Amino acid sequence: MTASLFPVAGIPAGSEGRRVIYGIRPEHFSLGGSLQAKISVVEPTGSETQVFAQIGEQKLLGVFRERVTAAPGQMLAVAPNLEAVHLFDTQTGLRLN
């Protein structure tokens, strides 16, 4: 597994040195945390707020039950639920964890 900006709970056996795809559902992000996401769009949808953002070169979508008052261009601290992260082999597409 190559180094990444995105944290994982553990490195799956046999994945050392492999390129992986980091998979997480939008609702498995929470506000606060060590990742700084640059906001492009904030979309209140009633009970949830969708936030389109970017960390490094990676675009992401987060869905939050809390109100997000940040605006496009601002930074938002987010954290992934590490138990909900899935890693996939880039060559085979198979899930590694």
> How far is the C-alpha of 33 from the C-alpha of 15, rounded, in Å?
26
pLDDT at 30: 96
pLDDT at 4: 60
pLDDT at 19: 87
H or E element at residue 73:
none
Mean residue pLDDT of the chain comes to: 91
pLDDT band at residue 3, thresholds of 50, 70 and 90?
A: very low
Q: What is the mean pLDDT of residues 13-40?
A: 91
Could you tell me if 86 and 95 are in contact, meaning their C-beta atoms sit under 8 angstroms apart? yes
pLDDT at 43: 96
**CA dist 12 → 48, 92, 96 (Å):** 33, 15, 6
Write the pLDDT tens digit of every residue in 38-61.
999 999 999 999 999 999 999 999
